[in-house]
Amino acid sequence: MSAYIGRFLSLNRWPGRLPGHRHFYDWRTCSDSIFALSTSIDTKKGSPLGIIRISGSETVNILQNITRRKALRSNKHLNDGSKSVIRPRYATLTELFDPKQNDLIDMGLVLWFPQPSSYTGEDVCELHVHGSQAVVKKLMTTLGSFDNTRPAEPGEFTRRAVANGKIDLMQAESISDLISSQTDRQRKVALHGLTGSTRVRYEKWAENLIRILAHLEASIDFGEDELIDGEQRVVNECIQDLNVLVKEISDFVSLTSRCRELIETGVRVVILGRPNAGKSTFMNILCRQEKSIVSDVSGTTRDLIEHTFELGGHKLTLCDTAGLKDLSFSSKKHCENAIHQKHQQNHDDIEQEGIKRALAAARIADLIIYLVDVNQISKKSTTVIAQELFQALDSIGAHKSRKSVHLVINKIDLKTGATCEIDSDALRSALREVLIEPADISVTMISCRTHDNIDKLVEGISKSLDRLHLNNAQSDQEVIEYVNERHLSLLDSALKHLDRAKNLKINRIDEMAQHVRESVDYLSRIVGDVTNEQVIDIIFKDFCIGK
């Protein structure tokens, strides 16, 4: 038994099950009582706490045997002997034994939740013990010795909660996403699904479709010529309602799919600018680690350098790029010395490739940070800088895609404050002259050496990321909807049937009703009305053990 428990701890698998022998959860095992370690244990040093969860009909028997106390199902009628019992929904400090060997395993806290008021809807118990490998291994071995009891499969506790009506399928998926969330925004979206607020939208759509279906089926025995005026009006109103629903669902799919992409895969931010503008230093400051090589030598960075991290609750991929020397890629004309022409040619080829990659990365970016050395700015050169920025943005189609742009003036520690203010005003005027809308570009003056205004710039970037989500939602308020690929696929299938239904002629009411019925079925699958066991298996297979 101890060997099998060791294998379970290392592989998180039930050793009696052969690969492909059955689905991960079926009628032969769903009535078993299950147990699992719900916390991670350091293999070398152990952990401060280990939590073992138990669920099923054997829970009360297991609990009473390993604690040598009676497990009460109610807190009523407690008598003087209450110290020898386990009270429901109370933390009880008690000794834990191996009943067969009469061996004390550990002292820990026991939490007892009688059915149906538990996470799974079954009898549930949690053992909070010291997180050493020896304690956990002994307890798992002891639990595995009870009849009709086995280690839980991934996500099996949550699956039982769905089966017993404690949560719906969408909430179960959101629990998995909440556990795996890495950014604050991912956490918020997962909680939105857990609270069930997104489900209300689906239920409203389903109710409207059921109402439409009822009207259609009431008229299904009539042909177009037999429909009285009132019935024809009702069917026409149903078609109008279908058009409204199709637009509403289509807009929702378009909005949420893009927002989900930004939240899950992250926002792409690219740093552009001329060589020695301080791009690599700025990259290292934002990443808070040395990701890019910093040197006084012009053109040190030749290839793209990326780093993904969280900024202002957003998942962000920041990309450092090669310096933009000549966007026309005609630097060969500068080779005046024939002796060095071949060497210059090779140098230019590498440089041009770096610029091409920088611009290619900028084209697919969601936000651009353009760095300029303050020494390049004076009353005579602000127009040149504005034209340079305009040329860079025009080459990546920033105006057409409405990219958010931060123009960052670096190395202000080399200038006086008054000079910087004058240059900044002149630059803004120059930007307006080249027809760059002020609403799309913000100007910030910083010093990477002294970190002046870095916090201000980070705050500005965070606000741009917030606006990016709002612009995709086409709303002035933050829109958070919980969707995943399964939901979007089902919504797409529902839309196809609704689109077919609204385009049918009025004398084909029976086909129209069938398409509406199919769309209701797809909507209901999102929140849990699913009969396909393989689909259920796919949803829960990525859960962690003990959840």
pLDDT digits (tens, 9 = 90+) for 7-27: 344 434 333 333 344 445 565
Predicted confidence band at 404 (pLDDT cuts at 50, 70, 90)? confident
- The reply to whether 463 and 511 lie within a common domain is no
Q: Which of 337-341, 367-371, 503-507 has the lowest mean pLDDT?
A: 337-341
Biggest CA-to-CA distance, the chain:
104
| Residue-level pLDDT at 336 | 41
Is 538 domain-assigned?
Answer: no
Using left for φ > 0, alpha for ψ between -120 and 50, and beta otherwise, residue 125 falls in beta
- Sheet containing 124-131: order of strands: 91-98, 103-113, 124-131, 47-55, 33-37, 149-151
| Residue-level pLDDT at 527 | 76
Is 101 domain-assigned?
Answer: yes
What pTM was estimated for this model as a whole?
0.70
Is 330 domain-assigned?
Answer: no
| Residue-level pLDDT at 226 | 55
Q: Which of 70-74, 314-318, 376-380, 523-527 has the lowest mean pLDDT?
A: 376-380
pLDDT for residue 473 is more than 90: no
Q: How far apart are CA 85 and CA 32, in angstroms?
A: 25
- The reply to whether 136 and 37 lie within a common domain is yes
Contact 319, 304 (CB under 8 A): yes
- Cβ neighbours of 15 (radius 10 Å): 12
- The reply to whether 427 and 395 lie within a common domain is yes
- The reply to whether 248 and 392 lie within a common domain is no
| Residue-level pLDDT at 90 | 92
Q: How far apart are CA 426 and CA 384, in angstroms?
A: 11
| Residue-level pLDDT at 107 | 95
Q: How far apart are CA 35 and CA 149, in angstroms?
A: 8
- Closest Cα partner for 111 from 38, 29, 168? 38
Q: Which of 97-101, 221-225, 347-351, 507-511 has the highest mean pLDDT?
A: 97-101
Is 427 domain-assigned?
Answer: yes
Q: How far apart are CA 57 and CA 38, in angstroms?
A: 20
Which residues contact residue 487 at a Cβ distance below 8 angstroms, ignoring those fewer than 6 apart?
Answer: 170, 526
Q: How far apart are CA 518 and CA 535, in angstroms?
A: 18
- The reply to whether 146 and 47 lie within a common domain is yes
Token pair belonging to 492: 């797409």
pLDDT for residue 410 is more than 80: yes
Residue that has been written with the tokens 């020898």 in this structure: 84
More confident residue, 177 or 375: 177
Residue that has been written with the tokens 């609990």 in this structure: 63
Angle at 440 between CA 437 and CA 444, to 5 degrees: 105
- The reply to whether 272 and 249 lie within a common domain is no
pLDDT for residue 439 is more than 80: no
Q: How far apart are CA 40 and CA 9, in angstroms?
A: 10
Which residues contact residue 333 at a Cβ distance below 8 angstroms, ignoring those fewer than 6 apart?
Answer: none
The mean per-residue pLDDT over the stretch 390-396 comes to 79
Is 317 domain-assigned?
Answer: yes
pLDDT tens-digit series, residues 113-133: 999 999 999 999 999 999 999
- The reply to whether 155 and 213 lie within a common domain is no
Q: Give the range of the structural domain holding residue 217, as residue numbers without chain letter.
A: 194-263+484-527
Contact 219, 234 (CB under 8 A): yes
Distance of CA 353 to the CA centre of its chain: 34
Contact 183, 262 (CB under 8 A): no
More confident residue, 510 or 417: 510
DSSP string, 39-65: S---TTT-EEEEEEEEESTTHHHHHHH
More confident residue, 330 or 278: 278
| Residue-level pLDDT at 22 | 43
pLDDT for residue 171 is more than 50: yes
pLDDT tens-digit series, residues 357-381: 888 888 888 889 999 888 776 555 6
pLDDT tens-digit series, residues 482-492: 888 889 999 99
| Residue-level pLDDT at 417 | 52
Contact 467, 404 (CB under 8 A): yes
pLDDT for residue 528 is more than 70: no
Is 464 domain-assigned?
Answer: yes
Predicted confidence band at 270 (pLDDT cuts at 50, 70, 90)? very high
Secondary structure letter of residue 434 according to DSSP:
T
Residue that has been written with the tokens 């209701």 in this structure: 520
Q: Which of 20-34, 285-299, 453-467, 511-525 has the lowest mean pLDDT?
A: 20-34
- The reply to whether 37 and 140 lie within a common domain is yes
Q: Which of 288-297, 347-356, 441-450, 497-506 has the lowest mean pLDDT?
A: 288-297
Is 67 domain-assigned?
Answer: yes
pLDDT for residue 493 is more than 90: yes
| Residue-level pLDDT at 542 | 55
Contact 63, 71 (CB under 8 A): yes
More confident residue, 441 or 443: 443
Is 488 domain-assigned?
Answer: yes
pLDDT for residue 307 is more than 60: yes
Residue that has been written with the tokens 């002259």 in this structure: 433
- The reply to whether 206 and 217 lie within a common domain is yes
Q: How many residues does the chain have?
A: 547
Q: Which of 109-113, 415-419, 481-485 has the highest mean pLDDT?
A: 109-113
Q: Which of 149-153, 338-342, 359-363, 459-463 has the lowest mean pLDDT?
A: 338-342
- The reply to whether 41 and 115 lie within a common domain is yes
- The reply to whether 459 and 376 lie within a common domain is yes
Q: What is the CATH number of the domain that holds 206?
A: 1.20.120.430
| Residue-level pLDDT at 108 | 95
| Residue-level pLDDT at 229 | 57
pLDDT for residue 292 is more than 80: no
More confident residue, 193 or 506: 193
pLDDT for residue 216 is more than 60: yes
| Residue-level pLDDT at 399 | 60
Angle at 127 between CA 124 and CA 131, to 5 degrees: 145
State the average pLDDT for the chain: 79
| Residue-level pLDDT at 195 | 82
Q: What is the CATH number of the domain that holds 115?
A: 3.30.1360.120
pLDDT for residue 227 is more than 60: no
Tell me the percentage of the chain whose pLDDT exceeds 90.
Answer: 27
The mean per-residue pLDDT over the stretch 386-394 comes to 79
- The reply to whether 244 and 283 lie within a common domain is no
Distance of CA 450 to the CA centre of its chain: 36
109 exposure class (CB count in 10 Å sphere: 0-12, 13-18, 19+): middle
Q: How far is CA 186 from CA 266, 295, 314, 497, in A?
A: 10, 37, 8, 32
Predicted confidence band at 437 (pLDDT cuts at 50, 70, 90)? low
Number of domains in the chain: 3
